[in-house]
Amino acid sequence: MKARTIEIRIPRLAATILACAATAVIVSGVPGATQSQPPQAINSADEIEKFCGNIADAARDRRYAIQARELEVLKGDIDRRVKQLEEKRAEYEKWMKLRQDFMDKATENVVSIYARMRPDAAAERLSEMDPALAAAIMLKLRVKQSGLIMNEMERAIAAKLTGIMASAARKEDPT
């Protein structure tokens, strides 16, 4: 045998009244039906509307207080996250400075190595290297040393490095 479902239709006014009364009980702290005090009888819809109208300000104030608390919690969370981001930014800047110092020192060491090499050996090594890196090293060497090294290079490689070095020396952006 199939179970039957019973549909109860509550008129719209009655549903509104029940919702208002439930809200009033929650907001005002008036004991509900499950508490020890007996519920008071409501005589008419006018009394319910008056009651709802009377507690509307208290309900609104309560809602604003709850929202204010939630906003304070969110503000604290945002402040905490901003502080974490600032700490991470400071750490990142510290590491970037260490990295830049290391790169500067490494570049100085590489340039000094090529400055001490014989021109023919330096030309051979720089020819096999990435042209942009080779040009950067050549720019940091003294002009006389760069000239001697380029004199020992193949013409095509020396021309390519010269083009890169000339582009780097431009005051304006060629693009």
Question: Is 1 inside any structural domain?
Answer: no
Is residue 122 classed exposed, middle or buried when 0-12, 13-18 and 19+ CB atoms within 10 A define those classes?
buried
Same domain, 173 and 130: yes
| 1-31 tens-digit pLDDT | 555 555 455 555 555 555 666 665 555 554 5
C-alpha to C-alpha distance for 56 and 127, rounded to whole angstroms: 85
Contact criterion met (CB below 8 Å) for 147 and 174: no
| 45-90 tens-digit pLDDT | 778 777 777 788 888 889 999 999 999 999 999 999 999 999 999 9
Q: Which has the closest alpha carbon to 88: 74, 72, 99, 80? A: 80
Question: Is 112 inside any structural domain?
Answer: no
What's the whole-model pTM score?
A: 0.43
Domain boundary among 94, 126, 161: 94
Question: Is 83 inside any structural domain?
Answer: yes
Note the pLDDT of residue 153: 94
For residues 56 and 164, the model is more confident at 164
The fraction of the chain above a pLDDT of 90, given in percent, is 43
Note the pLDDT of residue 25: 54
Q: CA dist 1 to 4, 7, 34, 47, 97, Å?
A: 9, 19, 36, 46, 81
| 117-141 tens-digit pLDDT | 999 999 999 999 999 889 889 988 9
Domain boundary among 94, 127, 158: 94
Question: Is 77 inside any structural domain?
Answer: yes
Note the pLDDT of residue 44: 72
Same domain, 125 and 173: yes
Domain limits at 61?
43-94
What's the gap between Cα 156 and its chain centre? 48
Contact criterion met (CB below 8 Å) for 119 and 149: yes
Question: Is 133 inside any structural domain?
Answer: yes
Same domain, 49 and 83: yes
Question: Is 105 inside any structural domain?
Answer: no
Contact criterion met (CB below 8 Å) for 122 and 149: yes
Same domain, 123 and 169: yes
C-alpha to C-alpha distance for 60 and 72, rounded to whole angstroms: 18
Same domain, 126 and 76: no
Contact criterion met (CB below 8 Å) for 129 and 156: no
Domain boundary among 59, 94, 129: 94
C-alpha to C-alpha distance for 16 and 49, rounded to whole angstroms: 10
Note the pLDDT of residue 41: 53
Question: Is 27 inside any structural domain?
Answer: no
Domain count, the chain: 2
Is residue 134 classed exposed, middle or buried when 0-12, 13-18 and 19+ CB atoms within 10 A define those classes?
buried
